[in-house]
Each structure stands twice: as structure tokens, then as C-alpha cells.
Chains A and B, each alone.
Chain A
Amino acid sequence: MKNLKWKMENLLRTRTLLMIMAALFTVHFSMFTASAQIAVKGETVWTMAGDPIINGVVLIKGGKIEAVGTAAQIQIPSDYRVISAKVVTPGLIDAHTVIGLNGYLNQPHDQMGLDSGASFQPELRATDAYNAEERLVEWVRGYGVTTIHTGHQPGALASGQTMIAKTWGKNVDEATIVPTAMIAVTLGAGANAQGRSPGTRAKQASMLRSELIKAQENSAKTDPAKDLRSQIMARVIKREIPLLITAEAAQDIMTAIRIAKEFNIRIVLDGVSDGHLVVNEIKASGFPVIVHASMARPGGDRSNISLENASKLRSAGIPVALQSGYEGYVPKTRIVLFEAAMAAANGLGPSHALASITIDAARILGIDGRVGSLAVGKDADIAMYDGDPFEWTTHCTGTIINGRVVSDVKR
């Protein structure tokens, strides 16, 4: 009996503790996850859908942007949570990264960007590898990055598919907005394999052509093959999805354009360190460019990498987005905000630099209907800063995704 009483008391105590913990957890949880009604006030609001608004307000309801305008134009309803910041921008878009597949530990078990068993594997799906809770996803979210185009890394002729995700979500399904965005193709020194083909640039081009011919022939059949590779390559031939061709050296950029024209397929040029040497040719091709992080170590195919690359390409009228990119070394991710900052200070200017990590990136990725600018009806993805977002000494003070405050660390 005594024993039972003790047990009961203990149980009660435990229950009380659990209830307190649950209550605390709810408060904390709701602070971060509730898709509440929020009014974001900014001394400067970069909508990227027109001139910046001085003393602007963005109203958020149901995870979407409800209204955007000046404080004078917009009445903030009394039940809206008000968050103020010096500078407000659309949530940033990193137009090409490998985070979520390649983890911060840099150990074999958390590096899932490249299967080196074969040179051409377009059937590998990024969604089968994406870790939504990877620490680097949280890391870039703290700097205002809300959307990432991530997936298989450069390093094989075709390493696999890419996907587009929000940097929020407990799992891949919650995070993903485009499960298959592009196919990651690499040309140049990085595509050579050890002990098998391709071993030269010309062999890379030949193998890629062969695969595209196979896909063309298969697509023309009345009863086309249904294996995984045939299915995904058929989508390339039908121009449903582009190849993301990583080509750093000028000759590889030219090869990418040549093959795309031969097969009338869509491509997005990626990396493009030598882009500033073949500006006219890229411009004539009409293909958009996702410029590699220019703070990457120079050398190899990136010997001519330049801080002015983005500026030179954009001023020629080429659609340009920036990326954190892929490197096998520390840092395991660069911060696309910092890359835009360097581009801003080296010819691109703050306004175009911001466009290259918001609306211009969204257009190249084909998601500008949802994200990339602060416009009514778009996803409520917002980054907030306590000064010029590009200054090293400024902080990101908060990040909102789908109307939820997902980061309020000062980073």
C-alpha cells in the first residue's frame, strides 16, 4: 500500500512535470511554427517587384503575402503580430548548392552528392537523399536563405537530379517544392572518371551526345522504354526539364551550348568561371547562367574565376543568378548572401546583386510564380536585416518561410 502511494505520487509528479514541459514546448513551438498573421515593417523594403519602399509594410496571412505597401497605405490589423526590421527583403534563393545531400561533417556517411560507380546516372533522385534537418540547411536559413536549388554535385558526366526545397520542414516532403528540377551534368576536368570513360573532354561530349540520341530515338517510339533512365531522359528531350551543365572553362561552356543546340534541349549554364571570356557567345545562346561562388579557391578549371563575372554577364543582358556552389573542402557551404555582397562590391551593385539571389534566381529556376519577390499571393518568405544586408557587420535578424518565423537568431 505504501509502495502504491509512493508510486502514485511519483506518477503525479512526473505527470505535472510532463505537463509543464508540454506547456513550455507549446509556447516555444508555436513561436516558431505557427503560420500566424504577421505584419513585417521595414525602414527599407526591397520588394524586387518595383522600387524599394521606404517605411514599408508586408502583411502575411495563411502563409502567403496579403499586402505590400507603405506604412501610410497599409492599416495593420490589431491582431497581427508586428515584426520590425531595418531592411526587409524577399527570402533569399541559393540557385545551386549541395546542402542537404552533402553534410557538414564531411565524412563518407554524410556525403551523398556523388555516386562514383558510374559516369552517367540521371535517374538518381535528389529527393531520395535530401536531409531536411541537416545542420547546414539551418545554417544558411539563419542568414535569410529560404529556398535552395540543391542536389547531386558536379563531378560526373551526369551525377543525378536536382530538386528545389524550402529551408524549412521536418522532412523532405515538407521541404520540397520541385522534386525534380534539373539533371546535374558536368563538363571539363571535373567530369573525368578514374579507370573508365570519360577520360577526356571530347569523350565527355561524345558520351553525352550518345545518351541524347538514345533518348531521342526512345521518345520517338510508339512504345518507349519505361526504365528510370529512359523516363527522365525523355523529359529532357521533351524540354520539360533542363540539364544543369556545370562548365567552368571556356571550351566547356562552348561545348554545352553546342550540344544544347544540336539536340534542341533546355540547359542552364552553371559555374561558368570563364563566362567573362565568352560573354557574346553565352548571350547569343540565350541560356541563363548560375555563376559559381567567386570566393572559391582559384585553380584548375577555375583558374580565371573573377569577382566581376556576374557583373560582366548581367550587363550584357544575360539572366544571372548566384550560388554557394560546390567545393570538396571547408567551408562545406558558402553563404550566397556573402557571394552576392562580393558581386555587389565588384561591379554588379546592390540592387542587381539582390536580384541575383531573389527574383532573377526564381525566374531561372522557374519558381517566380511562388517566390523571389514580395508580391500579393506569393509565399510569405522574408529575410530581415539590421542594416545593409551585404555588409560583413550587418546581421540577419529573422527569417520567415511560408508565413512562419523559422529563425530569430541574430546571425
Chain B
Amino acid sequence: MKKLFLTFLFSALFALAASGQEKLTAFVNATIIPITGPAIDQGVLLVHKGKIVAVGDAKTVRLLSDVITIDVSRKIIMPGLVDTHSHIGGPAGADSTGPIQPDIRILDSVNPRASSIQRAQAGGITTVNVMPGSGHLDSGQTLYLKLRDDAVKIDDLLILDKAGKYMGGIKFANGTNSLRAAGGTFPGTRAKSAALVRDQFIKAQEYRDKVAKAGGDKSKLPPRDLAMEALVEVLDGKRMVHFHTHRHDDIMTALRLSKEFKFRIVLQHVSEAWKVADEIALAKAPSSIIMIDAPGGKLETVDIDFKNGVALEKAGGLVGFHTDDGITDSRWFLRSAGLAMRAGMSRDKALYGMTMANAIMLDLQDRVGSLEAGKDADFIILSGDPVSVYSHVEQTWVEGKKVFDRSNARDYIFAVGGKGATDDGDSHMDIHCFDGDGGNQ
């Protein structure tokens, strides 16, 4: 550990000399919950240039004099929360012209200045998957964002992969939300829903084959088709399918489609996960669940239960939480872990489900979700136990920059509400995700 740290120190000093600014910053004396290891008392979190350079106790991480030290005694530090399913920024995806619209990019719809983003920062969320709604079988491509401060344009929030492309998945849904009684191009039954999805994936397979056959010869390429290009990315495993599904039979249909077309899937909501937890685990499908105060609200969710977390944990599945903001509020996202524990989930898995599990679901496990050297310096400072109602998120840091500070009067409003917490036209947001039935049952 010491040796490792020295290596980091040398490279850090080198970087300092090069840039001539940005010092090493050490957060000391906190209890650190790194998620991927046991909690550390009297911990030290060393940050430089937006990255974590070391995590440990005062004995293993020794500080030189040229370090900015921030004393966080009696506080808890844990990774920034990762939300795998949210509608902050008021996005609207596919329109009413068809049930499957893979060409839609939520990138073109998110308002990066929305106050909902600041409220999410106040809740300790640092990474989020912003999605279009569930009123379609496929409502478009989703977007993975870092909740950096002072975004002028959406580009300022994007997460880029190694090739420099912004990251995101694609939203699919089954069950009642995407059904329309009137029919038209939309499905009227569950079997029709599955058939329409199959049909599109077969078309995408054919499109992919044509492109492969052309072998780079532009004259032989099929006409460009943005929808097909997105679905080919899904078939190639490059784009994760975030599949909204509630009822046990719909969950099995989502898994069946995933197996047939070999696409990577995250089950979203999974309200009846407790009924098919073994099947989900067997399929190695991650589940992103939501904590709702009462059962029902729509016919598909009459059996939603806080015990989804423990059921999936016991079955051996990967399980995380999401807000579906505005269905539940980003500001009390941490409550999800507490309520899951209330129903029997272990503390470790519940906290893992707020962070690392979700990072894995977004293919960001090398960058966020835990406090480890080399990862992004995304973390929150809490006044106490993460699952206690009495604890507050005091600060939220993204890539080494403080984006929320409860002691700041303006930020405080975003945390607790009041005049100025919501004035950005959030009411225009289209919530079709958890509720918002499209027609018949």
C-alpha cells in the first residue's frame, strides 16, 4: 500500500509541476465506506485532478506537507450514488408515431440546467442514467451523465468512453404502458408486443449482415438507417437494454427476448422480482428495483414489495436501486437502501445496490461506484449512517469538485425544498415510466 502510494505521489508531483495548480486534497478523519472493502475508521481519501489517488487509514496513507487537508471528523464518506433510472432534466423521447423508435436520442431532449439536476446532487447522486419513458416498446436511447456543476450545455454532463463517444443505453418496455386499446401501429396485447420487438431485431440482424457483406464497399452498403444502427449496437453488445418490466410473466418475456437475440439487459423496476428471483439470477440479469410506499397504483404493480431486494440478494442476482425521478425523489434516494434492509436485505448489499451494482449496470464499474485508487473522485459526505432518516447529505463531490454543499443557502433549498427549489418548468416533464398507462390492461 505504501509503495503504491509513493508511486502515486511521484506521478502526482509530476502532474503538479506540469499544470502548476490543483494540489492534492486529503479528506481526513472520516469513516470511509469504500463499498468494495470494509469500512475504514479515521480514514483518508486522497484526491487529485478529479481522481482518487489513495484510500486508507491514517497509517497506510501518509500525507506530505504540500497537501490541502480537509477535516471531516465524525462524518461518513461513501461513493457518489449511481441512479440507473431517472427522468431528471425533463426529457421527452419517442413520440406517438410508432411503438419502436430506436433512433430517438434523449441526448437531444435533456435540459442540463433543470433544477431537478441540482436536487439530484442534493440527494448525493453523482452518476445517472437519464431515460425516455415507458409508453413505447422502445422509446429511444438513454444517456449516462455525471452531475457536474454549472452545465451550460448537455455536452458538459456527458460521460465519454475510450473512443470519445458519449455513453448510454436504450430503453425498452413491456406490460401495459406501451399497449394502446385503439391499436394502430401500437400493440394491443402482450404477445403482440413481443412479436413487434422480435420483428425489429430480425430486421436489425439482416441490416447488420448487409453491412458485413458490403465489406467496406460503400456502393454495396444498405441506405443508412439510424434506428437499425442503434439496434445493431444492441445486437453487438455495445448498447445495454434497460428493460422496463413489472409483472412476473413480463419479466420472463424480457429475459426470453434477451436470450433469443443475445442482447445485454438490465431489468428495470422488476416489481414482481420476488416471484421469479431464481429465474432472474439464473439468467444472470441485473435488476434495478424501486421502493414505492404502497402496493398498487396500477394493475401491474399490485404485488410490488420492499422484499424484492432481499429476494434477489438471496437468489444471487445483481441488484441495485433507482429513483425513476419524478416517481420517487432523488433527494431521498438513500431511503431505498433503508427500506430494502427493513424487508431483510443485508446492509452491505443494500449500500452496494446504491453504488457499485449500478455502476456495473451502466458499464462504468472501472470509473465510479466505489472509493478506490484510480477511480473518479465522486463521493458524498454524510452527517451519519447512510440509511438513517436523521442523516443528511452534507456535500456531494463530482470528479474532485464540490457540486453540493448543504451549508450553502442556495444549495440548502434544493435539499429541503421551498421557494426556488423547483422553478424550471418541471411540470412539462413526461412521466410515463412507472405509471401512465397507455390504454387497456
Q: B-contacting residues of A (Cβ < 8 Å)? A: 103-107, 135-136, 139, 276-277, 294-295, 297-300, 303-309, 329-335, 338, 341-342, 344-346, 390-395
Contacts and interface: CB of A to CB of B under 8 A. Distances in A.
Given A299-B426, A305-B417, A392 B435 contact: no
A345 B292 CA distance: 20
B418 A392 contact: no
Interface string B109-123: 000000000000000
Interface in B123-147: none
B214 interface: no
A304 B426 contact: no
Nearest to A330: B297
Contacts of A106: 296-299
A105 B300 CA distance: 9
A295 B292 CA distance: 12
Interface of B: 292-299, 301-302, 326-327, 329, 332, 335, 338-339, 341-342, 387-392, 416-419, 421-423, 426-427, 431, 434-435
Contacts of B389: 341-342, 344-345, 390-392
Contacts, number: 113
Given A135-B296, A333-B293, A333-B294, A306 B387 contact: no
Given A306-B417, A309-B417, 18 more contacts: A104-B294, A104-B295, A104-B297, A105-B299, A105-B302, A299-B426, A304-B419, A304-B421, A306-B416, A308-B418, A330-B296, A331-B293, A332-B294, A332-B297, A335-B293, A390-B389, A392-B388, A394-B342
A307 B332 CA distance: 11
A392 B296 contact: no
A139 B294 contact: yes
Nearest to B332: A295
Contact of B417 (A104, A304, A333, A344): A304
B423 A393 contact: no
A135 B305 CA distance: 14
B328 to A, nearest CB: 8
Nearest to B427: A299
A335 B389 CA distance: 14
A258 B44 CA distance: 59
Nearest to B328: A295
Contacts of A299: 326, 422, 426-427
Contacts of A309: 417
Given A106-B298, A308-B416, A345 B390 contact: yes
B387 A393 contact: yes
Contacts of B327: 329-330
- Among B292, B294, B421, B422, chain A packs the most CB atoms within 10 A around the CB of B294
Nearest to B119: A298
Contact of B294 (A298, A334, A395): A334
A143 to B, nearest CB: 10
B293 A338 contact: yes
Nearest to A396: B342
Contact of A392 (B326, B339, B423): B339
A297 B326 CA distance: 7
B390 A329 contact: no
A392 B342 contact: yes
Nearest to B418: A306
13 contacts: A105-B296, A295-B332, A298-B329, A298-B426, A300-B427, A303-B423, A304-B418, A308-B418, A332-B294, A332-B297, A333-B293, A391-B389, A395-B342
A240 B278 CA distance: 59
Contacts of A306: 416-418, 421
Contacts of B418: 276, 304, 306, 308
A307 B338 contact: no
B417 A332 contact: no
B417 A307 contact: yes
Contacts of A334: 293-294
B422 A298 contact: yes
Contacts of B326: 297, 299
B416 A346 contact: yes
A304 B417 CA distance: 6
Nearest to B350: A393
A335 B342 CA distance: 15
Contacts of A330: 292, 294, 296-298, 301, 327, 434-435
A294 B421 CA distance: 13
A341 B342 CA distance: 15
B401 to A, nearest CB: 26
Which 8 pairs across A and B sit closest by C-beta, in order of nearness? A392-B338, A104-B296, A330-B297, A306-B417, A331-B293, A331-B294, A306-B418, A298-B422
A329 B327 CA distance: 8
Contacts of B293: 331, 333-335, 338
A101 to B, nearest CB: 14
A195 B411 CA distance: 42
B1 to A, nearest CB: 33
A120 B359 CA distance: 53
A107 B422 contact: no
Nearest to B426: A299
- Among A330, A345, A395, chain B packs the most CB atoms within 10 A around the CB of A330
Contacts of A345: 389-392
A335 to B, nearest CB: 5
- Among B292, B298, B302, B434, chain A packs the most CB atoms within 10 A around the CB of B298
Nearest to B331: A307
Contact of A331 (B292, B421, B426): B292
Given A104-B302, A330-B301, A393-B342, A135 B295 contact: yes
